[in-house]
């Protein structure tokens, strides 16, 4: 399992939120909504898209889980339309690149924690985030960002 460590600065984001169970059609529809919004604002080809689960599914009822899909935007970009504006926190992240399939992600979850611990790192209490570029989406790949210390 390939892992690299990346220092990510605080990022300004425009995001859309889904409230309900993680996974499934609702999150796919949200991703399409974000890509459409980014395309309309001439951001899609050069943008970074983040999938950010806001709640731990073992601690929050499925119907109350919040999932944000965000586009990283420039400091001077004017957020318009239905998008909300926010920030993604700076920090150290373990970055894993994998196929964006249910099988690959399930397998990654089985091995990710021991892999990080073998490197002498601990996971911070923040969301594990999916990161995409337009090129990665076309290749059906994603990066998983695990906050570490």
Give tens-digit pLDDT for 70-101. Answer: 999 999 999 988 999 999 999 999 999 999 98
Please give the tally of structural domains in the chain.
1
Q: Tell me what pLDDT residue 60 has.
A: 94
CATH number of the CATH domain containing 88: 3.20.80.10
pTM: 0.92
Query: In Å, how far are 72, 94, 121 from 65, measured between CA atoms?
Result: 22, 24, 28
How confident is the model over 8-30, as pLDDT tens digits? Answer: 999 999 999 999 998 878 888 99
Rounded Cα distance, 123 and 142, in Å: 20
Percentage of the chain surpassing pLDDT 70?
100
What per-residue confidence (pLDDT) applies to 64?
96
User: 131 lies in which domain range?
Assistant: 4-147
pLDDT of residue 57: 86
Asked whether 118 and 108 are in contact (CB, 8 A), the reply is: no
């Amino acid at each position: 399992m390939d892992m690299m460590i990346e220092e990510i600065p605080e990022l300004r984001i425009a995001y859309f939120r889904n409230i309900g169970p993680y996974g499934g059609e609702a999150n796919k529809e949200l991703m399409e909504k974000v890509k459409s919004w980014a395309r309309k604002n001439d951001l899609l080809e050069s943008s970074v898209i983040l999938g950010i689960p806001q709640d731990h599914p073992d601690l929050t009822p499925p119907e109350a889980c919040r999932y944000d899909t965000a586009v990283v935007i420039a400091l001077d970009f004017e957020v318009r339309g239905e998008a909300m504006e926010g920030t993604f926190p700076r920090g150290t992240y373990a970055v894993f690149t994998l196929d964006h399939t249910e099988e690959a992600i399930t397998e990654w979850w089985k091995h990710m924690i021991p892999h990080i611990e073998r490197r002498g790192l601990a996971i911070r209490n923040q969301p594990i985030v999916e990161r995409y570029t337009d090129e990665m989406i076309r290749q059906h790949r994603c990066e998983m960002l695990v906050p570490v210390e």
